[in-house]
Amino acid sequence: MGRVIVVGSINVDLVVTADRLPAPGETVLGGRFAQHHGGKGANAAVAAARAGASVTMLGAVGRDAFGEVALEALSAEGIELTRIRRVDEPTGVALIAVGPRGENQIVVAPGANAELRPEDLGLDGLAGRGAVLLANLEIPMPTVTAALRTAAEAGARTILDPAPARALPSDVLAIGAILTPNEHELTVSIGNDDPVSALAELTQRHRGAVIVTQGPAGALLAHGDVRSRSPGFVAPRVVDTTGAGDTFAGVLAACLAEGRDLDDAITMANGAGALAVGAPGARQGMPSRGELDSFLATAERALSEED
């Protein structure tokens, strides 16, 4: 069993599903409300745990009812929580609108997530050779940078899911973590609106691999001048795309932690992402390892029959 350390956000998601998403300034009536567990960090931690990894979560929640609920949900997944901070700010909240094809609009109030500082991490003795550390950008950038650098120096493999989209500073790129942007996050990360030239520029400035996730189209792996494509999978059912990127990152981390090569890990992460969109909320559709293995085996048999 591989070890995955997730440094990131813990939120509660307040979700309204509607027949269509509102335009700016518009109110859409008739929505259906649900409360789900969320936060890009916590979501990825759950995805990694369900994929079979031993997961430790580093983050912060408030001293409120949302914080209690969030931690109970993570504990139920077998995630180790002794490194979670309790702070006076409220637990992070995401307001999510979901349209009829699973598309979404999200606004996040970071709350306690913004209070996670580099000195709070305590990675000594935790992130070492054989471990994989995964971070995202719903926590302060100095904390992300410190976590990635400390883990890399200790011999751990590092992954940065650069979401929500923002420019990546040079000191983060110098660490050489595996990056997992979608196409929008790719262009924002480097400040270049053209995806092809943005990827070329990013790989020139970044020492590590870049995996551009493209949903059903799969993923494009770039490292220096080398490019390769991993196939995607048609989702059996599309209900809500919230959390698909978190699922990809978490399963990628879990597969690398158990010793799989990068190409194999990307394929498994693509499969998990396809399954994750089949249920409402960020986590409900995240597959167990057995479900993921079964899905990939079925897809492989179908492909061999076509050949």
Distance, in Å, from the CA atom of 10 to the CA atom of 139, rounded to the nearest integer, reads 10
Distance, in Å, from the CA atom of 172 to the CA atom of 283, rounded to the nearest integer, reads 28
Distance, in Å, from the CA atom of 73 to the CA atom of 48, rounded to the nearest integer, reads 14
Instruction: Let me know how long the chain is.
Output: 307
93 within 8 A of 107, measured Cβ to Cβ: no
Considering 120, 246, 263, 307, which one is annotated as catalytic? Answer: 246
Q: Is 86 left (phi over 0), alpha (psi -120 to 50) or beta?
A: beta
**Six-digit token string for 162:** 């650069």
Please name which of 93, 87, 75 lies closest in space to residue 116, comparing C-alpha atoms: 87
Q: Is 194 a catalytic residue?
A: no
Distance, in Å, from the CA atom of 264 to the CA atom of 177, rounded to the nearest integer, reads 18
Q: Which residues does the annotation mark as catalytic?
A: 246
